[in-house]
Structure 1
Amino acid sequence: MSDRTTPWPGDPDDLHDAGTTVPQAVPPVSDAELRERLVAAVDAVDAPDAVFAVSRGGRRTVHCGGTAAPPPVPREELRYEIGSASKTFAGLLLVQLARRGLLTGGEPAAACLDPGRRDGRDPVTLAHLVTHTAGLPTLPRDFHVRGLPAWRTNPYARYPADRVTDAFLRHRPRHRPGTRWHYSNFGVAVLGHAVAAATGTPWEDLLAAHVLRPLGLHGTALRAADDPGTDAAGRAGDGRTPVPAFDAGGFTAAGAIRATPHDLLTFLEAHLDPNGVPRAVRTPVLRRGLGHRHVHTVAWFRHPAPGGPMYFHCGATLGQQAFLGFRPDTGTALAALCTRRFRHRDPFVTTAYGLLAEP
C-alpha cells in the first residue's frame, strides 16, 4: 500500500484534522503592498486577460489586466472557466449530502449506476472517486480516440455521460480501491453521475441546492451563457488564437464550472468562516509519497506554510486557467484567473501559488 487513507466517516464533521499546524502570528500586509503584489502578478502572467482577486480578513482587493484590449464587460465581472478546480465544488457537495444524511460516501458507485449489478469484495465507492483512489486512469481508455477529431476545440464534448458511465462499469482496476492515489478526471466525472443516480436528482440541481444557492453564488454556472458578453473568451497557448467555450460533455462534475472572480472569493471565504462550509472539506483524508508528505483532503491539495497549512486547487480548459486557494492562518483567499492555456513553463500557476504562499 503506497498511500495512507482514513475511512470516510458517517458524519464528515467527525473527522479529526490530524497534523494541522497551530496558526502563528503573521505580520499584516498593507493595502498598498498587496496591490503592488497583484499588479506584479498580473504582469507576470502575460495573458490576454488576467484577474487576481484576494480576500484578506474579509477585505477584498482585485486587480485586472492583460495583453489584450479590455473587453466591453469589465474583466472582474466576467465568468471564467475554472476546469479541474470545479472538483472543489464536487467535494463540498458530497460532504454536504453526507451531512444531510442523503449519502454516506460509502455507496458503491457501480450499484448506484446499475442497481441490479452485483459488486465484488472491494467495490469502488463515492469516497474513492472523490479522493482519486478508485484505481481509475486520468481519462477513459478510448477517450483520446473519441476526442481526436475535436482535440483543439472541444474533445470532452465528444464523450457524453453514457460513455463515461459505460466505460466505468466495464473498467477493471489494477489495484484494490483505496490503496493507490492517481489523479482522475474520469473518477470525478463518474462521481457526478453516481451521485445523481443515487439521489434521483441531476448533478446540476444538487449543486445549485446544496452549494450555489446557500452561498449566494449567482454568477456561477455549469454551461456557457447565451449572452457572449457574460463569459470570458479563452485563447490558446500563443495568447491570440480564439478557443471555443468549453463543453465538459460527460465530465460535468470534474470540470464544468465557470464563475466570476467575486463568486469564487465568496466560495473561498466560506472555507475560512467557522460557520461557513463544513471543516471536513479541509481535513486530511490521504497522505502519500515519501514520508507521506503530500496531503490531500476531500476537495483540496494541502501544503505547509510558515503559519499553518494552505489549501489550493488548479484548473485549466483549452483556453483558460484558474487557481483557487486559501490560508486559515492569514485569513487569505485567492482566486486567480486568466484567458490563456499555458502548457510548458507555466507562469500562471507559479505566480498564483507564490502569491498565496507569501505572508
Structure 2
Amino acid sequence: MRNSLAARSIAPATVAVSILGTCAVATADDIESRLRRAADEAIVPIMETYKVPGMAVAVTVQGRRYVFNYGVASVESGKKVDDATLFEIGSISKTFTATLASYARETGALSFSDSPGKYVPDLAGSAFDKVSLLNLATYTAGGLPLQFPDDVTQKNAIAYYRDWHPNHAPGTHRRYSNPSIGLFGYAAAASMGAPFDDLMERKLFPMLKLFNTYIHVPEKRMPDYAHGYSKAGKPVRVSPGAMDSEAYGVKTSASDLISFVEANMDGRGLDDATLRRAITATHTGYYRVGGMVQGLGWEMYDYPVELDGLLAGNSPEISYKSNAVEALDPPAKPREDTWINKTGSTGGFGAYAAFVPERRMGVVILANKAYPIPDRVRVAYRIMAAIDGPSD
C-alpha cells in the first residue's frame, strides 16, 4: 500500500529530549526524520495487515508538533487524509467528558461525592443513592455493563438506570462501562444547567481552542469527515445511541487531538485558569488495577513503563471484565512522571492517545478502521521511543 505522507512542524529549531533516562539535544530535522521513519515503519504494515484505508499520526515533542497523514479518508471518493480530516475517536471522548465534569467541580457546580440523583431527580430512591459521581467516572459503581442493552435508547435510558441493580458494592470493582461514564457526563451537564452537547460544542471546545472538533459535524465540514470502515470493508459511521455523546461522540482531527494532549501536559496556552486546574485534576488517580491507575477518563502508569505493562493495562481482561480494585486513599495527586493514555473505537474507527508530561511528549494515532488495541499501543510506544534516537 502506498502512503500519502505529509509532515507539519511548528516551534523552535532545537529541542532537548530525554525519554529513556538519557539526555540529548537534537535538531528539529533530526527529530522529524526519526519520527517519520518510525511512523512509516509502524503505520504502513498496520494499514496493509488490517486493510485500513487511512490514518493520521500527530506527535508533540517539547512543544513542537508533527503531523503525518496516510492513505485515504474515503475509499469511494479517493479523498486523501489531510490535516483537516475528521475521525471518530470513540472512547477517547471520555477524556473530554471528564474535563467538562472536572470544570463543573472547579466552578462549584457539583461535587464528585454527590450521588447522581442530586442532578437527575428521577434517579432519587434508586440504587444510585449509594453511588457517587466519582464511582460513575471511574467505572466503580458496582457493575454497570460495557454497553447498554439493545433496547435502551436515549429516551428510555433513565428508566434503565432506575431499574439497574449492582453486582458489587460501589468502589470495590472496576468494570469499564459506557453507561457509567455516560451518566457521569449527563449529570455534570445537568449541574451546569445546559445540554451536554451544547456545553461541549459551545463552551468546552472553544475554551480548549479546538476548532476542528465536534459532537455533531456541521454540514459544511462533512466533506472532511472520513468514512469509517467495518471489518468487512463497508463504509460506516457511528449511529445515535443512549449517552453516545458522553461516551464516544467526539469527532476531531489529529491536529486538534494533539493540541488537547498538549493542553493536558502544559495548559499555559489556555486563557481560563479554572480550565487549566480542571484538566490537571483529570490526572488524579483514584483506583489501581494491576499496573494501571484509573483517573478521570485517562488511564495512567508509572513512568518509565515497559511495553508489557501497557499491553496488560489495555488488555481485554481490563477492558471487558470486572476487576477488584485498590482504592487510593487519599487519591494520588497528578504527577509528571506518568504515562497517560486512552484508547477509543467505534464500528468504523480506531484511535489511541498517549503522553508523558515530564517529557512533554505525546502521540495520537487515528484510523478510519478499527484494528487491535495491542497494535495501537505498540505503534505509539515505538514512535515515542523514536524521539530519543533512531529505531533499530
Normalised by the size of structure 2, how large is the TM-score? 0.74
Pairing 1:229–2:223 present: yes
* 1:346 shift after superposition: 5.5
Q: Deviations over 1:221-262 (max 9, x none)?
A: 112442431201101124x32113443443210000000111
* 1:198 shift after superposition: 3.0
- Separation in 1, partners of 2:63, 2:298: 21
- Separation in 2, partners of 1:105, 1:169: 20
- Separation in 2, partners of 1:104, 1:115: 19
Q: Residues 298 and 28 from structure 1, CA distance in 2 versus in 1: closer, same or farther, beyond 3 angstroms?
A: farther
- SS in structure 2 of the partner of residue 216 of structure 1: coil
Q: 2:124 aligns with which of 89, 99, 117?
A: 117
Amino acid corresponding to residue 124 of structure 1 in structure 2: V
Q: Residues 346 and 44 from structure 1, CA distance in 2 versus in 1: closer, same or farther, beyond 3 angstroms?
A: farther
- Separation in 2, partners of 1:121, 1:348: 35
Q: Residues 189 and 262 from structure 1, CA distance in 2 versus in 1: closer, same or farther, beyond 3 angstroms?
A: same
Pairing 1:72–2:83 present: no
- Separation in 1, partners of 2:23, 2:203: 34
Q: Deviations over 1:94-128 (max 9, x none)?
A: 11111111111222113422268336796212111
- Separation in 1, partners of 2:25, 2:40: 19
Q: 1:326 aligns with which of 337, 349, 355?
A: 355
Q: Residues 328 and 346 from structure 1, CA distance in 2 versus in 1: closer, same or farther, beyond 3 angstroms?
A: closer
* 1:130 shift after superposition: 0.9
Q: Residues 119 and 341 from structure 1, CA distance in 2 versus in 1: closer, same or farther, beyond 3 angstroms?
A: closer
- Separation in 1, partners of 2:226, 2:197: 21
Runs of 4+ in 1 over 4 A off after TM superposition: 22-26, 67-71, 119-122
2:338 aligned residue: 309
- SS in structure 2 of the partner of residue 295 of structure 1: strand
Q: 1:57 aligns with which of 62, 66, 69?
A: 62
What are the equivalent positions in structure 2 for 1:14-33 lying under 5 Å apart? Answer: 26-27=23-24, 30-33=31-34
Amino acid corresponding to residue 284 of structure 1 in structure 2: G
1:351 aligned residue: 379
Kindly indicate whether the alpha-carbon contact (under 8 Å) linking 1:39 and 1:63 is maintained by their aligned counterparts in 2. Answer: no
* 1:66 shift after superposition: 2.6
- Separation in 1, partners of 2:209, 2:132: 30
Q: Residues 198 and 328 from structure 1, CA distance in 2 versus in 1: closer, same or farther, beyond 3 angstroms?
A: closer
Q: Residues 37 and 105 from structure 1, CA distance in 2 versus in 1: closer, same or farther, beyond 3 angstroms?
A: same
Q: Residues 25 and 98 from structure 1, CA distance in 2 versus in 1: closer, same or farther, beyond 3 angstroms?
A: farther
- Separation in 1, partners of 2:295, 2:20: 19
Kindly indicate whether the alpha-carbon contact (under 8 Å) linking 2:117 and 2:128 is maintained by their aligned counterparts in 1. Answer: no
Identity of aligned residues (%): 25
- SS in structure 1 of the partner of residue 358 of structure 2: coil
Q: Residues 356 and 123 from structure 1, CA distance in 2 versus in 1: closer, same or farther, beyond 3 angstroms?
A: farther
- Separation in 2, partners of 1:215, 1:264: 10
* 1:78 shift after superposition: 1.1
Q: Residues 66 and 346 from structure 1, CA distance in 2 versus in 1: closer, same or farther, beyond 3 angstroms?
A: farther
2:4 aligned residue: none
- Separation in 1, partners of 2:113, 2:96: 19
- Separation in 1, partners of 2:382, 2:142: 32
Q: 1:95 aligns with which of 102, 107, 128?
A: 102
- Separation in 2, partners of 1:116, 1:349: 38
Larger relative contact order (C-alpha < 8 A, sep ≥ 6)? Answer: 1
Pairing 1:273–2:266 present: yes
Pairing 1:189–2:182 present: yes
- Separation in 2, partners of 1:221, 1:330: 29
- Separation in 2, partners of 1:62, 1:116: 45
* 1:335 shift after superposition: 1.4
Amino acid corresponding to residue 378 of structure 2 in structure 1: T
Which segments of 5 or more consecutive residues in structure 2 lack a partner in the other structure? Answer: 1-18, 271-275, 306-336
- SS in structure 1 of the partner of residue 140 of structure 2: coil
- Separation in 2, partners of 1:189, 1:324: 20
Q: Residues 297 and 139 from structure 1, CA distance in 2 versus in 1: closer, same or farther, beyond 3 angstroms?
A: closer
Q: Residues 305 and 236 from structure 1, CA distance in 2 versus in 1: closer, same or farther, beyond 3 angstroms?
A: same
2:252 aligned residue: 259
Structure with the higher strand share, 1 or 2? 2
- SS in structure 1 of the partner of residue 96 of structure 2: helix
Pairing 1:135–2:135 present: no
The count of corresponding residues between Structure 1 and Structure 2 is 319
* 1:330 shift after superposition: 2.0
Which segments of 5 or more consecutive residues in structure 1 lack a partner in the other structure? Answer: 1-21, 147-158
Q: Residues 123 and 31 from structure 1, CA distance in 2 versus in 1: closer, same or farther, beyond 3 angstroms?
A: same
Q: CA RMSD in A?
A: 2.7
- Separation in 2, partners of 1:315, 1:116: 29
Kindly indicate whether the alpha-carbon contact (under 8 Å) linking 2:127 and 2:162 is maintained by their aligned counterparts in 1. Answer: no
Kindly indicate whether the alpha-carbon contact (under 8 Å) linking 1:305 and 1:357 is maintained by their aligned counterparts in 2. Answer: no
Normalised by the size of structure 1, how large is the TM-score? 0.80
2:92 aligned residue: 85
Kindly indicate whether the alpha-carbon contact (under 8 Å) linking 2:95 and 2:297 is maintained by their aligned counterparts in 1. Answer: yes
- SS in structure 2 of the partner of residue 229 of structure 1: helix
